[in-house]
Structures are given as structure tokens and as C-alpha cells.
Amino acid sequence: MDTYDKNIKKILKKLRPDIELWLKENVSENRRNHILRVAKTAKKYARKLGLDVYKAELSGLLHDLAKELTNEKLLEISKTNNLEFDEIDLDNPHILHARVGEILAKEKFGINDPDVLGGIRCHTLAEPNMSKIMMVVYLADATEPGRDKKFAGSAKKVFKEKGLEAGVLEAINMKLKDVINRGKKIHLLTIKARNWLLSNL
């Protein structure tokens, strides 16, 4: 038997058609397909780990709400909502889409569950003290079946063999290698998340 929050199950059932309609109107078909794969993958991982499948699925469905907003819009929403952002965010405002996605999930769909919101917020950069559901969403985004096998394969393998935390650490390591290869700055949240995982493995 899965353990789950009955309230979230109800919210997911009620909101699903609205979320799908919103995605149809606001994000491209490719992105929508990615989002649906992330939701499905997050649900699968949560089930495997005995976590709340409905929280994982809902967070996956909402994780990229802000993915296709322009940098200007992302910065505007961040400022209006007093989000803290630094020079690395300003260099590449696109990474704000995760934190802005959390704001949209609250505003447009009335979400207030910390795991669901946290999964949206941390899916790009990760963060320290992630809950298990948050890690599931992070890992699902990095390893859904549409991702490049070269990139996702090792995180999936480590997840299978060594568990959730190790899988998330591997996904972070893969992303960091890519960021370094592209000569980009590393976001401090990712470094803190990685240190936190290393201390807790």
C-alpha cells in the first residue's frame, strides 16, 4: 500500500485538467511532453521508494510552468515577489524558471504543500535539505526517458544500485561537469546541495 496524503490526491484529481489545459496554452508541445514524462517518472520513483506518489506526480506536472517565460518576465516576477537572486542568476535568468515556477504554482493553482512546491523550486539547481519528494522530482527531471542516455544513464544506474541520495548526487555531478565543460559559472545552491548530500550519504 502506498502512503499518501488524501488531500493531495484530491487536489491532483481536481487540478489535473486545469493544469493540462494551462500547459497546452502556455508551453510548447515538446516541453509539455517532457513535463508529462517527468510527472510519470517522478510517480514511478516515488512508488518504488514507498513515498507519496500523488505529491511526486503533482510536483512533476507543475515543475516547468515558468520554463518558457522570457528572461525579462522571469526577472520581473522575481523582483515583484522579492526573490533573492545573485550575479549568477542575473548572468543566466533562465535558471530562475524553477523558483518562478514555484510562485506560479501558488498563484495559479493554489498549491501550498512544501514538498510539491519544493520539488518545483529545486528541480534545476537542487538545494540543501531537500525532502525525499523534492529529490525524486529533481532526479525525474534529470533522467526522464526523453533525456540524453549519455547524460541520464549514470544517474539512473546509481539510483538503482545505491538509492535516491546517491542518484541525485550523481545527477548533480553530471550537470556540474557539463557546466564546467561549457565554461559557465556554478550556482552556489548546487554546491551547497552537493556538500549537503556528501555529508548525509
Binding site for Fe ion (CB under 5 A): 64, 141
- Between 115 and 141, whose beta carbon lies closer to Fe ion? 141
Q: Provide the terminal-to-terminal Cα distance of the chain, rounded to the nearest Å.
A: 27
In the complex, least distance from residue 94 CB atom to Fe ion, rounded to whole angstroms: 9
In the complex, least distance from residue 73 CB atom to Fe ion, rounded to whole angstroms: 15
- Between 9 and 83, whose beta carbon lies closer to Fe ion? 83
**Cα separation, 160 vs 41, whole angstroms:** 14
- Between 64 and 115, whose beta carbon lies closer to Fe ion? 64
Rounded to the nearest 5 percent, the helix, strand and coil shares of the chain are: 75, 0, 25
- Between 6 and 150, whose beta carbon lies closer to Fe ion? 150
- Between 5 and 179, whose beta carbon lies closer to Fe ion? 179
Give the orientation angle of helix 132-143 with respect to helix 53-62, to 10 degrees.
50
In the complex, least distance from residue 175 CB atom to Fe ion, rounded to whole angstroms: 12
- Between 52 and 141, whose beta carbon lies closer to Fe ion? 141
> Which segments of 27-131 does DSSP mark as H helices, in order?
29-49, 53-62, 71-80, 87-91, 97-109, 114-122
**Cα separation, 140 vs 145, whole angstroms:** 9
In the complex, least distance from residue 156 CB atom to Fe ion, rounded to whole angstroms: 16
In the complex, least distance from residue 190 CB atom to Fe ion, rounded to whole angstroms: 14
Identify the residue whose cell numbers are 539512473. Answer: 156
Question: How large is the greatest C-alpha to C-alpha distance in the chain, in angstroms?
Answer: 47
Give the orientation angle of helix 53-62 with respect to helix 97-109, to 10 degrees.
110
In the complex, least distance from residue 87 CB atom to Fe ion, rounded to whole angstroms: 21
What does the angle CA 112 – CA 196 – CA 173 come to, to the nearest 5 degrees?
100
